[in-house]
């Protein structure tokens, strides 16, 4: 085939731009903290910028929190807990949660667009995954609020009190929902800190909470950097810390709370193994690998960042994978065709680039799709390293970007040993036609979630959480309730 012919074919596969409209969204120039049902100026008087990572343009100014703001929020949360929320019949509490869920659904388009503008993720993901799942979590836990005695028969569950919640930037609204919904359903009140780079949808949620009529002080949101998180963790008036983020910060939090009465749950990093056997449905597995590591820029704690492919199918599998990588569309997060949006921040871009440079230095075979990257914004091509050594940092450390480390295996025992040879244990994937193999692997892989012939599937009824350095405690399902309760 001539070169010209190939080029013509490529052009015929390009989609016309199909950007989601941003004309219907309402973003203020400046956002204050949400304390005791009202928006309050930061004690510091300072604000920081929230940036659109696809354009590097400022979107809004966000209040910079400090210890005084945290103090106010904890007082409001304690007051609401003692005088309103705990004494309210559980069936009444449920009504507020149902209302919040319905309001999220009503404003789903606005939330989706803001999530993609502020965080860089493709609109397809924020529209179809983040926002519907956030609403689903509120619906699900609303249903439990007045049925806790049935969830835990003969155990008299009661709320913990004021809960401090700290969340990361990869699923901003969804993580807020994962935290707030079960905490409130169990009768606790909340002080939440979103990640510095993605505060906007949490603040839009604060507006929505105001509209829902939720009693003042039940949910308080303080924005700012890691120092605000540390203030929340160290505050004596907080009964429980729920944290999602890096293992590094998780360890700091664990040290801080070690000598206190505070309860803690930690959802931390991961380095998931996606294992493809020779009897797997190959095209389906290729799609699963792509979904596991490239969609959402690899900004997923459970990203399938290590691919183990059985040696006998390595060539055909890697060829199909590379072909599929070539078709991925990278660019404007608001375009409905986009598969891979912007990397969340400049510092994350540099971290990922650092790992790609390391892989090159270590001499592993590099493949990147030949797409053009936008001139502005933080973007990285989908990247694959073949035959990565088990000892390499590429195979051991969480990159949190669209970088796949490929290894091969021959036997089941070999792949289980390799897959488990990591300090993490959040998730894994198994691709095979044999049910017996699936059961064998799911019982021997040390990971909180093991997906079989699918990947990255979430549901509020299903618990999620880690083994080893991926943290402890579960979110979602009935298990997610016990993280916010004590038992007599």
CB of 312 to Mg ion, least distance (A): 45
Q: Which of 20, 37, 50, 455 binds Mg ion (CB under 5 A)?
A: 50
- Would you count residue 174 as binding ligand NAP (CB under 6 A)? no
139 near 98, Cβ under 8 Å? Answer: yes
51 near 346, Cβ under 8 Å? Answer: no
By beta-carbon distance, which residue lies closest to ligand NAP? 229
Which of the residues 115, 301, 302, 475 is marked catalytic? 301
- Would you count residue 252 as binding ligand NAP (CB under 6 A)? yes
Q: Is 186 a catalytic residue?
A: no
Nearer to Mg ion, 257 or 352 (CB): 352
Q: x/- binding map, residues 222-261, to Mg ion, per CB under 5 A?
A: ----------------------------------------
From the list 304, 339, 324, the residue with the least C-alpha distance to 431 is 304
Near ligand NAP in 377-436, by CB under 6 A: 398, 400, 426
Integer Rg of the chain from CA = 23
CB of 249 to ligand NAP, least distance (A): 3
Q: Which of 117, 185, 186, 301 binds ligand NAP (CB under 6 A)?
A: 301
Near ligand NAP in 108-167, by CB under 6 A: 166-167
What are the strands of the beta sheet with 240-244, ordered from one edge?
38-40, 33-35, 219-221, 189-193, 162-166, 240-244, 263-267, 471-472
Q: Which stretch binds ligand NAP (CB under 6 A): 119-127, 212-220, 243-251, 402-410?
A: 243-251
- In the three-class reduction of DSSP (H, G, I as helix; E, B as strand; rest coil), residue 324 is classed as helix
* Segments in 164-234 forming alpha helices (H): 172-185, 200-212, 226-234
422 near 271, Cβ under 8 Å? Answer: yes
Euclidean distance between CA atoms 262 and 153, whole angstroms: 25
Q: Which stretch binds ligand NAP (CB under 6 A): 42-50, 182-190, 267-275, 375-383?
A: 267-275
Near ligand NAP in 217-236, by CB under 6 A: 225-226, 229-230, 233
Near Mg ion in 175-204, by CB under 5 A: 197
- Would you count residue 249 as binding ligand NAP (CB under 6 A)? yes
Nearer to Mg ion, 74 or 340 (CB): 340
- Would you count residue 278 as binding ligand NAP (CB under 6 A)? no
CB of 230 to ligand NAP, least distance (A): 4
Q: Which of 118, 196, 469, 475 binds Mg ion (CB under 5 A)?
A: 118
Residues 6+ apart with CB under 8 A from 376: 54, 55, 56
326 near 367, Cβ under 8 Å? Answer: no
CB of 430 to ligand NAP, least distance (A): 20
Nearer to ligand NAP, 268 or 318 (CB): 268
Q: Which of 42, 245, 288, 359 binds ligand NAP (CB under 6 A)?
A: 245
CB of 149 to ligand NAP, least distance (A): 28
CB of 200 to Mg ion, least distance (A): 7
76 near 216, Cβ under 8 Å? Answer: yes
Residues 6+ apart with CB under 8 A from 160: 186, 188, 239, 240, 263, 484, 485, 486
Which of the residues 267, 398, 469, 475 is marked catalytic? 267
Q: Is 301 a catalytic residue?
A: yes
Q: Which does 476 bind (CB under 5 to 8 A by kind): Mg ion, ligand NAP, none?
A: none
Q: Which does 267 bind (CB under 5 to 8 A by kind): ligand NAP, Mg ion, none?
A: ligand NAP
Q: Which residues of 478-487 are buried (b: 16+ CB within 10 A; e: fewer)?
A: ebbbbbbbbe
425 near 267, Cβ under 8 Å? Answer: no
- Would you count residue 188 as binding ligand NAP (CB under 6 A)? no
Phi, psi of 397 (to 5 degrees): -100, 150
- Would you count residue 170 as binding ligand NAP (CB under 6 A)? yes
Count of CB atoms situated within 10 Å of the CB of 349: 19
Euclidean distance between CA atoms 386 and 405, whole angstroms: 6
Give the pairing of strands 240-244 and 57-63: unpaired
Count of CB atoms situated within 10 Å of the CB of 367: 18
Euclidean distance between CA atoms 284 and 290, whole angstroms: 10
Q: Which does 50 bind (CB under 5 to 8 A by kind): ligand NAP, Mg ion, none?
A: Mg ion
Active site residues: 267, 301
Binding site for ligand NAP (CB under 6 A): 166-170, 193, 195-196, 225-226, 229-230, 233, 244-246, 249, 252-253, 267-270, 301, 398, 400, 426, 466, 471
Binding site for Mg ion (CB under 5 A): 50-51, 118, 197
């Amino acid at each position: 085939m001539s070169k010209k012919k190939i080029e013509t074919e490529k052009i015929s596969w390009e989609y016309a731009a199909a950007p989601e409209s941003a004309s219907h969204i309402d973003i203020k120039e400046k956002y204050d903290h949400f304390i005791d049902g009202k928006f309050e100026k930061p004690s510091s008087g300072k604000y920081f910028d929230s940036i659109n990572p696809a354009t590097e343009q400022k979107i809004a100014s966000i209040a910079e929190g400090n210890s005084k703001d945290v103090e106010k929020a904890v007082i409001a949360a304690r007051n609401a807990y003692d005088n309103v929320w705990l004494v309210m019949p559980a069936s009444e509490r449920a009504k507020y949660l149902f209302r919040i869920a319905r309001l999220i659904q009503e404003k789903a388009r606005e939330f989706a667009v803001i999530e993609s503008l502020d965080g860089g993720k493709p609109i397809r993901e924020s529209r179809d995954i983040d926002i519907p799942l956030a609403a689903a979590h509120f619906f699900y836990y609303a249903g439990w609020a007045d049925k806790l005695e049935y969830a835990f028969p003969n155990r008299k569950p009661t709320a913990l009190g004021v809960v401090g919640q700290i969340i990361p930037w990869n699923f901003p609204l969804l993580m807020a929902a994962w935290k707030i919904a079960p905490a409130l359903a169990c009768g606790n009140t909340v002080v939440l800190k979103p990640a510095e780079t993605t505060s906007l949808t949490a603040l839009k949620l604060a507006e929505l909470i105001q509209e829902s009529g939720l009693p003042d002080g039940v949910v308080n949101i303080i924005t700012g950097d890691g120092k605000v998180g540390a203030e929340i963790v160290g505050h004596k008036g907080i009964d429980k810390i729920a944290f999602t983020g890096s293992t590094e910060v998780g360890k700091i939090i664990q040290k801080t709370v070690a000598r206190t009465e505070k309860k803690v749950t930690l959802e931390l990093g991961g380095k998931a193994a996606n294992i493809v056997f020779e009897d797997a449905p190959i095209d389906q597995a290729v799609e699963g690998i792509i979904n596991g590591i490239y969609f959402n820029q690899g900004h997923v704690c459970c990203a399938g960042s290590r691919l183990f492919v059985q040696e006998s199918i390595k060539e055909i599998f890697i060829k199909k994978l590379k072909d599929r990588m070539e078709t991925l569309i990278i660019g404007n997060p608001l375009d409905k065709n986009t598969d891979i949006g912007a990397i969340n921040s400049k510092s994350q871009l540099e971290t990922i680039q650092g790992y790609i440079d390391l892989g090159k230095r270590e001499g592993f075979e590099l493949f990147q799709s030949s797409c053009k990257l936008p001139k502005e914004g933080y973007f990285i091509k989908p990247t694959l390293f073949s035959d990565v050594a088990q000892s390499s940092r590429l195979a051991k450390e969480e990159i949190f970007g669209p970088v796949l480390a490929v290894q091969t295996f021959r036997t089941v025992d070999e792949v289980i040993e390799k897959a488990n040879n990591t300090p993490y244990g959040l998730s894994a994937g198994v691709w095979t036609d044999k049910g017996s193999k699936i059961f064998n692997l799911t019982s021997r892989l040390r990971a909180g979630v093991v997906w079989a012939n699918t990947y990255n599937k979430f549901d509020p009824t299903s618990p999620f959480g880690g083994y080893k350095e991926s943290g402890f405690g579960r979110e979602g399902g009935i298990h997610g309730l016990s993280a916010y309760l004590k038992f007599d």
